[in-house]
Chains A and B, each alone.
Chain A
Amino acid sequence: MSAPVPKTMNMIEAINSALDIMLAKDPDVVIMGEDVGYFGGVFRATAGLQAKHGKTRVFDTPISECGIIGVGVGMAAYGLRPVPEIQFADYIYPGLDQLVSEAARLRYRSANDFICPMTVRSPFGGGIFGGQTHSQSPESLFTHVCGIKTVIPATPYDAKGLLIAAIEDNDPVVFFEPKRIYNGPFSGYYDRPVEPWSKHEGSAVPKDYYRIELGKAAVVREGAAVTVLTYGTMVHVVKAVVSEHGIDAEIIDLRTLLPLDIEAIEASVKKTGRCMVVHEATRTSGFGAELAAQVQERCFYHLEAPVERVTGFDTPYPHSLEWAYFPGPVRLARAFDKIMKD
């Protein structure tokens, strides 16, 4: 049998394909969330799935994130493999106790008696004029919780393979989808025309089943001058800035924040001697703080400059001043100047 020919997909289509494949492959998979059923989700990630797989497999829920995630924990305890959608990551907080105290600890507290193989999908991040309730990046709240895996794809290809692996994983996974790049990779130059996914190699997505192992980073650009650790939308912004300024940076897309691919990080930083961590989330106690700590613990004697953090500011995500908040090309260029001078 010849290998299936990859087709071009944007990230929404890739996620939809992963869900479709898993619904067909595993009768335990159930999808639920606000507007995910008949309508197919506000971002269309579940379009057509209810019609194809039936109403008891893909269905709408009350507007209650605590209820959605709590019900998911109960379904998982029964033996199902729920994949709830939280419509925006900003809405996940009412469900936080069910994730932190229940889903994440069920295996541990019951000594493997009950498990929670649940994948919570949620669009996150800004750059869409979503204001302070449709733009947040709360990933570090989850990496701080023991018992949850946190996964963030940056391409359609990775989104599909990682989502399939997340659904098949027997532990709870929070799967944050960078909604700014659902329809095309974002360079960070918001005044330039949007590039479609079809021009990006990451949009070559096989239509059949495949998985990408959780906990493995990807080197998206090899380089010798500086290592950049990033994920999600910022992978593409960093790539554009590095190309624009001719910086020989090695860009690592972490893909899974927890468990972290520490070997890939360590090898790269020891090679380049410089490390920059980049995320859109607020700065203080962000995931970049953990990355900086890991790098200085493991690579201190290889570092030629202090670890540099490029992040969003410690304010709520503003509406009109979105591009002054976003860690875009200007903030990145200044940081590269600084880290390369030291």
Chain B
Amino acid sequence: MDNKLPESFSQLWAEMDMEQSTKDNLSPLHLHIPEPKFRPGDVADFGDIIVPAVDAYPRPDEHAMPADIHRLAYGLVRVLGDDHQAMGSWNPGLDNATLQVMLRKMLLLRAFDDRMFRAQRQGKTSFYMKSFGEEATSVATTMALDFDDMCFPSYRQQGILITRDYPLVDMMNQIYSNRGDRLKGRQLPIMYSAKDYGFFSISGNLTTQYPQAVGWAMASASRGDTRISAVWCGDGSTAEGDFHNALTFAAVYNAPVIFQVVNNQWAISSFSGFAGSERTTFAARAIGYGIAGLRVDGNDALAVYAAMQWAANRARNNGGPTLIEYFTYRGEGHSTSDDPSAYRAAEEYALWPLGDPVTRLKDHLVTIGAWSDAQHDALIIELSEYVKTIQKEAEQNGILGHGLHHPFETMFEDVFEEMPWHLKEQCAQMLEEQQDKFGPDWEAR
């Protein structure tokens, strides 16, 4: 069985000078601090990233034993070839209409992100996070799940809601924290919650959703339900204890949960080496836990779909958990609060060897005659106009900091099911403060 590490890891071992020393001839210890290969001013060269041929890592049986598929944790599942054809054993064989929906959802997500990023820059809200370059990992995955499967997202999976047709206006109301916000203006923008859409409340603390997704899946299994759960985190947050606790529980109870690591190379300004990527893959974390691990081309929407479908079928048939790593790239900053040109080489995204997920899916559709460049350009304009129309509707409910928020007293609701005396007292105090601040007629404002 071929478990050979990709060349970049072997090279690291060589650089780390692993030669045996005699006791009398020890070189001093030295501390290894990981350093990304490229910094601002450098021209990135991703020549050492191995992009294997389509089907170099063929699709195993959905009932395969984890120990028999270790190769998949070090390889790269791919469907779309350089010729833009879908090929090989992982090809999910989706019909043209489904492929068009997938492309449309990814483009809508991109249009939405662009518009909301701009709204933050215009001072209409405090914060935004785009998913540029990673759209396949939230859209294609969700399409491979059932609508009533529960998603436990991290903060960059707005594509789940968009794929499940959650109203864009409600997403915007949340981003604006306005009077239409279903979360009553309590959460930082993009920390959505939508139980009816199988979308768990986003925490903001990293990877806490991992053991929760396992608990949800255990509950479903204990009830003889058919629903499964899927959970996302980033490469950086695999370092959290919750990640490892979750994998332990999932392995112990064979929980029907799909773990996904969106390895977009960057955790704010820290490259994936600070989560251990110099030594092994994130998918290979599965091996020590005895669960299935797949490493997937995250910018190949069909490979992403196929991997999720494999894992979902497996989980639904009591085959237990799977850990999927999507190898991708964070095309823009972490959020509106950082400038990536301050810590990484410019043009990295343009040079990324796995390309752009939207462009690759479009090229595939064009190649098979199910789409055209003209249709594509027209759709981009249509979606941009559509998002703008919804934005106007959302702004009728207000933007952050301009008065149209939920009533003041809602601050004290939902701490508990019933408001205890001390919160009632504090609520009364807060309302008096508003009177001092705005005058006796403040409530009429």
User: Which chain B positions have C-beta within 8 A of A102?
Assistant: 203, 205, 208, 212
Tell me the bound Cα distance from A266 to B328 in angstroms. 61
Query: Do residues A170 and B417 form an inter-chain contact, with CB atoms below 8 A?
Result: yes
Query: Do residues A67 and B211 form an inter-chain contact, with CB atoms below 8 A?
Result: yes
Answer whether residue B394 sits at the interface, using C-beta atoms and an 8 A cutoff. no
User: Which chain B positions have C-beta within 8 A of A260?
Assistant: 422
Tell me the bound Cα distance from A70 to B210 in angstroms. 8
1/0 contact trace for B199-221 toward A, CB 8 Å? 01101010010111111111110
User: Which chain B positions have C-beta within 8 A of A262?
Assistant: 421-422
Q: Which residue of B lies closest to A148 (CB)?
A: B416
Query: Do residues A71 and B215 form an inter-chain contact, with CB atoms below 8 A?
Result: yes
B150, B215, B414: the one contacting A73 at CB < 8 Å is B215
Answer whether residue B420 sits at the interface, using C-beta atoms and an 8 A cutoff. yes
Tell me the bound Cα distance from A110 to B174 in angstroms. 11
1/0 contact trace for A63-105 toward B, CB 8 Å? 0101101111111111110100000000000100110011000
Query: Do residues B208 and A111 form an inter-chain contact, with CB atoms below 8 A?
Result: no
A106, A113, A259: the one contacting B422 at CB < 8 Å is A259
Q: A7-61: which residues lie under 8 A (CB-CB) from chain B? A: 30, 56, 61
Tell me the bound Cα distance from A211 to B96 in angstroms. 60
Answer whether residue B191 sits at the interface, using C-beta atoms and an 8 A cutoff. yes
Query: Do residues A74 and B194 form an inter-chain contact, with CB atoms below 8 A?
Result: no
Answer whether residue B39 sits at the interface, using C-beta atoms and an 8 A cutoff. no
Q: For residue B34, give the distance in angstroms from its CB to the closest CB of chain A.
A: 26
Answer whether residue A215 sits at the interface, using C-beta atoms and an 8 A cutoff. yes
Q: For residue A266, give the distance in angstroms from its CB to the closest CB of chain B.
A: 11
When A77-B212, A78-B216 are in contact, do A110 and B183 touch as well, CB less than 8 Å?
yes
Answer whether residue B187 sits at the interface, using C-beta atoms and an 8 A cutoff. yes
When A62-B249, A110-B193, A262-B421 are in contact, do A72 and B215 touch as well, CB less than 8 Å?
yes
Tell me the bound Cα distance from A110 to B202 in angstroms. 8
User: Which chain B positions have C-beta within 8 A of A253?
Assistant: none
B184, B217, B229, B245: the one contacting A64 at CB < 8 Å is B245
Q: Which residue of B lies closest to A27 (CB)?
A: B223
Answer whether residue A300 sits at the interface, using C-beta atoms and an 8 A cutoff. no
When A56-B222, A70-B212, A171-B417 are in contact, do A111 and B203 touch as well, CB less than 8 Å?
no
Query: Do residues A111 and B414 form an inter-chain contact, with CB atoms below 8 A?
Result: yes
Q: For residue A142, give the distance in angstroms from its CB to the closest CB of chain B.
A: 14
When A62-B248, A67-B246 are in contact, do A75 and B215 touch as well, CB less than 8 Å?
yes
Answer whether residue B40 sits at the interface, using C-beta atoms and an 8 A cutoff. no
Answer whether residue B392 sits at the interface, using C-beta atoms and an 8 A cutoff. no
Q: For residue A258, give the distance in angstroms from its CB to the closest CB of chain B.
A: 8
B193, B216, B241, B242: the one contacting A113 at CB < 8 Å is B193
Tell me the bound Cα distance from A75 to B184 in angstroms. 25
Q: Which residue of B lies closest to A170 (CB)?
A: B417
1/0 contact trace for A126-167 toward B, CB 8 Å? 000000000000000000001101000000000000000000
User: Which chain B positions have C-beta within 8 A of A67?
Assistant: 211, 214, 242, 245-246, 248-249
Q: B157-204: which residues lie under 8 A (CB-CB) from chain A? A: 182-184, 186-187, 191, 193-195, 200-201, 203
A66, A98, A113, A169: the one contacting B201 at CB < 8 Å is A113
1/0 contact trace for A245-269 toward B, CB 8 Å? 0000000000000111010000000
Tell me the bound Cα distance from A101 to B187 in angstroms. 13
Answer whether residue A112 sits at the interface, using C-beta atoms and an 8 A cutoff. yes
Query: Do residues B194 and A171 form an inter-chain contact, with CB atoms below 8 A?
Result: no
1/0 contact trace for B409-445 toward A, CB 8 Å? 0000011110011100000000000000000000000
When A67-B246, A77-B216, A259-B422 are in contact, do A109 and B208 touch as well, CB less than 8 Å?
no
Q: For residue B290, give the distance in angstroms from its CB to the closest CB of chain A.
A: 13
1/0 contact trace for A106-120 toward B, CB 8 Å? 111111111100000
Answer whether residue B252 sits at the interface, using C-beta atoms and an 8 A cutoff. yes
1/0 contact trace for B233-274 toward A, CB 8 Å? 000000001100110110010000000000000000000000
The tally of residues in A whose CB lies under 8 Å from a CB in B reads 46
Query: Do residues A66 and B242 form an inter-chain contact, with CB atoms below 8 A?
Result: yes
A62, A75, A109, A146: the one contacting B219 at CB < 8 Å is A75
User: Which chain A positions have C-beta within 8 A of B241?
Assistant: 66, 94
Q: For residue A232, give the distance in angstroms from its CB to the closest CB of chain B.
A: 21
- Range, interface on chain B: 35 or more
When A66-B242, A101-B208, A114-B195 are in contact, do A106 and B201 touch as well, CB less than 8 Å?
yes
Query: Do residues A71 and B211 form an inter-chain contact, with CB atoms below 8 A?
Result: yes
Q: For residue A114, give the distance in angstroms from its CB to the closest CB of chain B.
A: 5
Q: Which residue of A lies closest to B185 (CB)?
A: A111
Q: Which of A72, A108, A259 has the most CB of B within 10 A?
A: A108
Q: For residue A334, give the distance in angstroms from its CB to the closest CB of chain B.
A: 32
User: Which chain B positions have C-beta within 8 A of A30?
Assistant: 219, 222
Query: Do residues B211 and A111 form an inter-chain contact, with CB atoms below 8 A?
Result: no
Query: Do residues B415 and A108 form an inter-chain contact, with CB atoms below 8 A?
Result: yes
Tell me the bound Cα distance from A56 to B254 in angstroms. 13
Tell me the bound Cα distance from A288 to B415 in angstroms. 23
Tell me the bound Cα distance from A307 to B365 in angstroms. 77
User: Which chain A positions have C-beta within 8 A of B417?
Assistant: 107, 115, 169-171
Q: For residue B146, give the distance in angstroms from its CB to the closest CB of chain A.
A: 16
Q: Which of B182, B195, B217, B219 has the most CB of A within 10 A?
A: B219
Query: Do residues A70 and B219 form an inter-chain contact, with CB atoms below 8 A?
Result: no
1/0 contact trace for B93-126 toward A, CB 8 Å? 0000000000000000000000000000000000
Q: Which residue of B lies closest to A60 (CB)?
A: B252
Query: Do residues A79 and B184 form an inter-chain contact, with CB atoms below 8 A?
Result: no
Tell me the bound Cα distance from A113 to B198 in angstroms. 11
Query: Do residues A112 and B414 form an inter-chain contact, with CB atoms below 8 A?
Result: yes
Q: Which of B213, B223, B249, B421 has the most CB of A within 10 A?
A: B249
User: Which chain B positions have C-beta within 8 A of A115?
Assistant: 417
Tell me the bound Cα distance from A184 to B187 in angstroms. 47
6 extra interchain contacts, Cβ-Cβ under 8 A, other than A64-B249, A111-B183, A259-B420? A30-B222, A67-B245, A73-B211, A79-B219, A98-B208, A106-B201
Which A residues form the contact surface with B (CB < 8 A)? 30, 56, 61-62, 64, 66-67, 69-80, 82, 94, 97-98, 101-102, 106-115, 146-147, 149, 169-171, 215, 258-260, 262
What 7 A-B pairs have minimum CB-CB distances, sorted nearest first? A74-B215, A70-B211, A71-B215, A67-B245, A74-B212, A78-B219, A259-B420
Q: Can you sample 11 A-B contacts with CB below 8 Å?
A: A30-B222, A66-B241, A67-B246, A70-B215, A75-B219, A107-B416, A110-B193, A170-B417, A171-B417, A258-B420, A259-B421
